[in-house]
Amino acid sequence: MTNKKIKIIANGVVQGVGFRPFVFNLAKKYSLGGFVRNTGFGVEIVVNGKKESIEQFISVLKKSKFDMSLSFWRHPERSEESKSLNDRILRCTQNDKGFRILPSKKTEILSEFPSDLAVCPKCQTELFSENNRRYKYPFINCTACGPRFSIIKKLPYDRKNTSMREFKMCPECQKEYDNPSDRRFHAQPNACPVCGPKLSLFDKNRKLVSQHGKALEAAVKLLKNGKILAVKGIGGYHLMCDAANKKAVELLRKRKHRPTKPFAVMTNLKTAKNLCRVNKYEEKALLSPAAPIVILKNSTFHFPLFTLSFNNTLGVMLPYAPLHHLLIKEIPVLVATSGNKSDEPIAINEKEAFNNLKDIADYFLTHNREIENRSDDSIVRFLPNSNKKIIIRRSRGYVPQALDIDIKTSVFAAGGDLKNNFCITRNGKAYLSQYIGDLAEKSNLDFYVESIKKMKSFLEVNPRMAVCDAHPGYYSFNAKYKKLYHHYAHIASVIAEHKLKGKVLGFAFDGTGYGADSSSWGGEIILFDGKEFSKVAGLEQFNLPGGEICSKEIWRNAVSLLHKYNFDSYIPKLFGIYPWKTIVKMIDNNLNSPTTSSAGRLFDAVAALTGVKIEALFEAEGAMALEALAKISAKTGKYKFEFKDNKIILEDLIKGIVKDLDKKVTPAVISSKFHNTMVEIIIEAAKIYSKKYKTKTIALSGGVFQNMVLLENTVNKLKNKGFKVFFNEKVPANDGGIALGQLFMLK
């Protein structure tokens, strides 16, 4: 029978995920000769053998679980054109003997580079099997799991290009690595207790306490005794303590200066289901290779959850590194919060950990595998009663997965300032960075600059164009870049993500951002007419006495709105202990009191009016408290409002809240009615402006839409009215998704 030959280029996430071993074994199954190897383009496959065998090989390859695209190359001697796969099979004069995995070929880097993967079930089984040579080895991995992005120095993804280069494999590990039938065949981080990374335990004075297995045993005892440990993981350090130990949790809060902001916990799935309500979509996310923190609804308070979260949700992640599994086996629930000082980057090496965490951690459980690319834990939550996943923070496990964008040249998008992710394009793909954070912090800005340099190096690009937010006060602002408006970029991010066509009516609700009229926006109705963005309406503006401080001293927003609508007599009743007279004077004299249409500051004002939160100790604390109360109440009432000259007038809303306060209506009911009103504002605006501009496509974006009560009710009601509704799912609705929107606006 005639032999054939074909060359295939596989693009996508095909490096660091066991793709080459899969191809090798598949070729062997069908008795094909040839080779497979990593290249800068992806993975190159050449197979030769019987025509029918090659067709079966291709069929199985196409149906495999890998995220890839395949290109088939014709032999240069063939000139006839044909669409059939058979005509793409190349005739060869000599059959290569056997099938091989060749060393990587360095070409222009066009391949995707892999995300870090949670430890797989097979490795988990081996981890706790006493007869296995990797029993309780904290760095067990295979081709299906383990560190990837966090250890990469450069592409292609080979051991010599990672921090595992420092660890020479022992004969047994090398044998596994070279054996096509082994699960660790060409697993780049392959290691064992003989040749791989090792644990060390230090006290806060940097004195070595113990190493290897004894370090783990000692760490467990310390955690059980209420100590706080800095634990080196995949993308950085965690600060950990026993979540059931109230004193330990309160001590961690005190030392980290985090009195109220919720802590995430790490636990097993069974315990997670005892603590929280976990639906099938949330369970799938928890168990996924990305292993993000999933925001779940509390189902019980028999556990001291009040020390972890002061609302009705809890951030939960399953152990994703072998070390985590070993710890959770001994301590069912651990606080696992970012190993950093508040608002600074997560520590990734011993120098940073000892310098930055010495006043927080009692001990340091570390290891000698270097982290090349810091990545904080990703955070997701689900739209209630839906499989729609909303990414709150896009980082470890999701980065550097690329998104499609119709831009062929390389462009750098600087993103926003508060919850920054930047973006670089290459060949129609957008590569969003890991979570950077607030660029106002110098250490985050340094991390930002460092990460941009690394991303350019990974992608081997030098962007020909750069874009940034138009706000001249942003740290990401550069006078040489093309300037784009913040809220247009929010809506553009939804359009780009969902590849929307034609006219789109967008609602951009967030904290504050620089508007096209140079004022502070945050509650805007935006029209995209297929080519350009424009504001068509928005919330009525009010003053922010003191400017940015209003996001923390949120009572100032309430005073501003009460004063605006002549309810001054209520100000001393509600905020008498605060310097409200000074605030009123600042507004009247236009002294450091910029105006804004911010929906976020409106939520803050209502939180303060109800007394739920007068001051916010972390971003959006007031809004989160309101959301929790609205879930408890779920009342159907709402407050009045009106549209006037393309403005949403808030006077009746504030008046209604004041009347309810007089009637001693509970904060929960007021919160529920306020949420209903915000939903109704969006519905009415959608009806008015969709008719005016002839579109039924709605886009929702901005940090305010991370409120699930607002988002769920808005989406359901809009759909019931016949609208097509879209919102951010693959990128955060907050500043983390701005960069994708900035890229779209260049089209």
* Calpha distance 516→487 (Å, rounded): 9
pLDDT of residue 104: 73
pLDDT of residue 586: 98
| CATH class of the domain comprising 199-367 | alpha beta
609 close to 661: Cβ distance less than 8 angstroms? yes
Cα separation values, 583 from 171, 548, 599, Å: 73, 14, 20
The CATH architecture that domain 539-727 belongs to is: 2-Layer Sandwich (3.30)
Does the pLDDT at position 301 exceed 80? Answer: no
| Region 415-432 average pLDDT | 95
Instruction: Please tell me the total number of residues recorded for the chain in this structure.
Output: 747
- Equal CATH topology for 401-482 and 539-727: yes
> Which segments of 385-466 does DSSP mark as H helices, in order?
442-459
Round to the nearest angstrom and report the end-to-end CA distance of the chain. Answer: 52
Show me where the domains of the chain are located.
3-101, 199-367, 401-482, 539-727
The pairing of beta strand 208-211 with beta strand 276-277: unpaired
* Calpha distance 718→450 (Å, rounded): 43
Domain 401-482, CATH? 3.30.420.360
| Region 543-565 average pLDDT | 98
- Confidence class for position 93, pLDDT limits 50, 70, 90: very low
| CATH class of the domain comprising 3-101 | alpha beta
pLDDT of residue 72: 75
Does the pLDDT at position 316 exceed 50? Answer: yes
Does the pLDDT at position 77 exceed 90? Answer: no
187 close to 142: Cβ distance less than 8 angstroms? yes
| Region 300-305 average pLDDT | 55
The proportion of the chain whose per-residue pLDDT surpasses 70, expressed as a percent, equals 94
pLDDT of residue 284: 96
- Confidence class for position 78, pLDDT limits 50, 70, 90: very low
- Confidence class for position 25, pLDDT limits 50, 70, 90: confident
Comparing 91-95, 297-301, 374-378, 384-388, which segment has the lowest mean pLDDT?
A: 91-95
pTM summary value: 0.91
667 close to 612: Cβ distance less than 8 angstroms? yes
* Calpha distance 454→105 (Å, rounded): 21
User: What would the pLDDT profile of 170-229 be if each residue is shown by its tens digit?
Assistant: 999 999 998 878 999 889 999 999 999 999 999 999 999 999 999 999 999 999 999 999
